[in-house]
A and B are shown apart, each in its own frame.
Chain A
Amino acid sequence: MLEASVLERIGIAIASTALALLIGLVIVAAAGHNPARFAYQLIVGSFGSGRAVARTLRYSVLFVLAGVAVAIAFRAGVFNIGVQGQFVVGGFTTVVTIVSLAPYLPEGTIGGVVLVVVGTVAAIVAGGLYAAFPGVLKAYGDANEIITTIMLNFIAIGFVGWLVAGRFGDPEATATRTERLPDNVGFPSILFDDPNLSIVGIVVTLAVVALVAAIMTRTRFGYDMVTSGHQERAATYSGVDAKRMIVSTMTFSGMVAGLAGAIFAIMIQGYFTDPSGIGNYGFDAIAVSLLAANNPVGVIPAGLLFGGLESAGSHVQINSDVPVQLIDGIVGLVVLFVAVPELFRMLAQRTGLGGDAE
């Protein structure tokens, strides 16, 4: 898909999504539900009301950040399937850092801001380190990063789950979770009524997208990263240490994933729960990145689409009998179709629509 022109990529992304949604509706009908009603609920659930829009934006923030994390690695020819694990490690680190430092800082706004900053930096470091590990294993041990990052996801989820249930659990809470973040820690709710969405989260996300896009296209580091991903030999001749590049790419990618975890912990949860039940942001982010052809800016519309789907999913769950797992299946279909640009090229040629693609 990286060889395709920009227009062609956008066409393929739209066609993949449309086809996946269409199949989703057919399945809804086959399962005995009304597809028109389901489609209507998807729209209402994603941006039919102020609340729905806020919910969509809240999820989109996470999908965009996690999607950027995936895109960084994929762009450099490294498969970081471990964004979910880095996200979990980052979010958990944030909460633990803030909760353990809180007693030493003043309770007012200034203390809160310091805690948020320190907690976020801790998440970025933790996410980066957790991703650097499979990077090192790939660069110096030749261990396939697809497999190691997937294993590290399972380990992160299990290990953090163990910590949340045990050592860092809140004994007073009935559910399995850590202590709550102190009251002075959080993002201000300017512009939105939603307690789980802050303009700060959106601004940070957009800033990260801009920063990553700038690094990828305007710096030596970004240039080396992308060349070593697609023309390893050329990069080596121009003096790039391919092994170190793998490690730094993974670290960079994991840092963004860790940041996504921090935003999740601070803006949305306010504590950290058993990570086996927090949602598959890191996995869906793979789909987001692919849909955006691994372009950091393209991740914004793709992330909005997935945020909308997720948001519609929680609406559907309450207001309809259609099992919400259908949305996950549709995401899988989107990924599948994105993998096969050739299919759409042929379809386009057969039907005469945009047939000049070749």
Chain B
Amino acid sequence: MSLAEDVTRNRVRIGTLLVLSLLVGSAVLALRFDVSPDELLVTVRRIFTYGFITRSLEMATPIALAAIGGLYAEKSGVFNIGLEGFMIFGAFSAAATMYFLGGTSPSQGHVWVAVLAATIVTALLTVVFAVLLIRYKADQIVAGLAVWFLGLGFAPFTAAVIWGSRSSPGLESVATVAFGQSPFVLLTVLVVLASWVFLYRTQYGYWVQAAGENPEALDTAGIDVNRVRYATVIFSGAMAGLGGAVLLAHAGNFVGTGETMVDGRGWIGIVAYLFGNYNPIGAAAAALLFGALDMLNVQFQTVGIEASARLVNLLPYAAVIVVLSAWGKTRMPSSVGEPYESEE
């Protein structure tokens, strides 16, 4: 499947994605204001600025990273519903590493080390998760929820042990590199493209897909199905951890109150890859839609539209429901959720 074919095949989806985002935006404006079409156009122009795009990309980055990870796990037959939890662990580990390396004013180098460390820590935690799922046949839904609860509990707990409060003090955020974009946005674009190539153009990508669609055939071909699944599940946790770390790097401090700073992004990541039909590029596009919806809030305030921040914050969640009801029937890999046991 080439990229062009991919776009053609999904053009209805992609088209609707764009229309939907525009509709939601204009509907919100139209509902709140009794303005003429001309004025509306001017306002829309003032909202969709270059800065808006930059911030939307930044906002989409953690979601896209988690989505790519989750996509690989599910493609191989394991539903990693714990993405949200792994993102919380990632964000927290990054904050803790940054703080231990450079106090409240870490350098750029510290930020990168912290992101790397957070990814590794989360990957290690995911190893335990993967063993429970694959070796001990844990219920994937329940164990995934458990990861979320563990994140919600232990990240703020450890934060309180370190900083005496559920949230960290302010830590420096990243500088932008090229085109006024965060380096992590560029990193994510690379990851998305690489994941696409890897999944559809390499032998291993074929194994990943076979592990989810037809594990028996893969087993017959002499490939260890569970080994492939271990790899994808650990990768999914690592990516969610990286996503959390990037979120932290952009935000500049860890927030452990309420649903923590991750605040549902892991769940939206799951929806992003479902909507992207298990295609890394589609998942990233969906993540961008949710990121943009999230940022509308800031734009509204900049332009001086008095929409309630709380209500605008709900837009991504509402969009998820609309999207899921319209495309609930994404074709799941056929063996998702079933532990595989070799005949040997």
Contacts and interface: CB of A to CB of B under 8 A. Distances in A.
Given A155-B314, A155-B317, A148 B324 contact: yes
A340 interface: yes
Interface in A131-186: 137-138, 141-144, 146-148, 150-152, 154-155, 158-159, 161-162, 165-166
A240 interface: no
Contact of A336 (B147, B166, B270, B308): B147
A158 B150 contact: no
Interface stretch (B20-28, B55-63, B137-145): B137-145
A15 to B, nearest CB: 14
Contacts of B151: 332
B329 interface: yes
Contacts of B150: 329, 332-333, 336
A333 B317 contact: no
B328 A141 contact: yes
Contacts of B258: 276-277
A339 B325 contact: no
A267 to B, nearest CB: 25
Interface string B303-337: 00000101101100110110011101100000000
* Chain A residues touching B, majority SS: helix
Contacts of B317: 151-152, 154-155, 158
Interface in B123-180: 132, 136-139, 141-143, 145-154, 156-158, 160-161, 166
A1 B314 contact: no
B179 to A, nearest CB: 33
Interface in B240-282: 256, 258-259, 264, 267, 270-271, 274
Contacts of A325: 153-154, 156-157, 160, 166, 256
Given A336-B147, A339-B132, A340-B143, A323 B161 contact: yes
A158 B310 contact: yes
B154 A151 contact: no
Interface in A332-358: 332-333, 335-336, 338-340, 342-343, 346
A165 B136 contact: no
Contacts of A96: none
User: Which of A276, A283, A323 has the most CB atoms of chain B within a 10 A radius of its CB?
Assistant: A323
A137 B314 contact: no
B138 A143 contact: no
Given A155-B314, A342-B136, A142 B141 contact: no
* Chain B residues touching A, majority SS: helix
A87 B325 CA distance: 23
B296 interface: no
A283 to B, nearest CB: 7
B149 A287 contact: yes
A333 B150 CA distance: 7
A343 B310 contact: no
Interface residues of B, number: 47
A154 B156 CA distance: 20
B320 A340 contact: no
Interface string B9-45: 0000000000000000000000000000000000000
Contacts of B91: none
B139 A339 contact: yes
A122 interface: no
A144 B138 CA distance: 20
A283 B259 CA distance: 12
A265 interface: no
Given A151-B321, A328-B153, A31 B161 contact: yes
A263 interface: no
Contacts of B143: 336, 339-340
A70 B326 CA distance: 26
Contact of B310 (A144, A146, A161): A161
A290 interface: yes
A327 interface: yes
A338 B146 CA distance: 9
Contact of A339 (B138, B156, B256, B318): B138
B81 interface: yes
Interface in B80-125: 81
User: Which of B81, B161, B264 has the most CB atoms of chain A within a 10 A radius of its CB?
Assistant: B161
B157 A143 contact: no
A326 interface: yes
Contacts of B274: 144, 147
Interface in A199-225: none
A330 interface: yes
A358 B322 CA distance: 46
A295 to B, nearest CB: 16
A322 to B, nearest CB: 9
A162 B313 CA distance: 11
A144 B271 CA distance: 10
B161 A151 contact: no
A32 B154 CA distance: 15
Contacts of A141: 324-326, 328
Contact of B153 (A151, A286, A326): A326
Q: 9 shortest A-B CB distances, which residue pairs?
A: A329-B153, A332-B149, A328-B153, A323-B160, A142-B328, A336-B146, A332-B150, A339-B142, A143-B328
Interface of B: 81, 132, 136-139, 141-143, 145-154, 156-158, 160-161, 166, 256, 258-259, 264, 267, 270-271, 274, 308, 310-311, 313-314, 317-318, 320-321, 324-326, 328-329
7 contacts: A144-B274, A144-B328, A151-B267, A326-B154, A332-B147, A336-B146, A339-B142
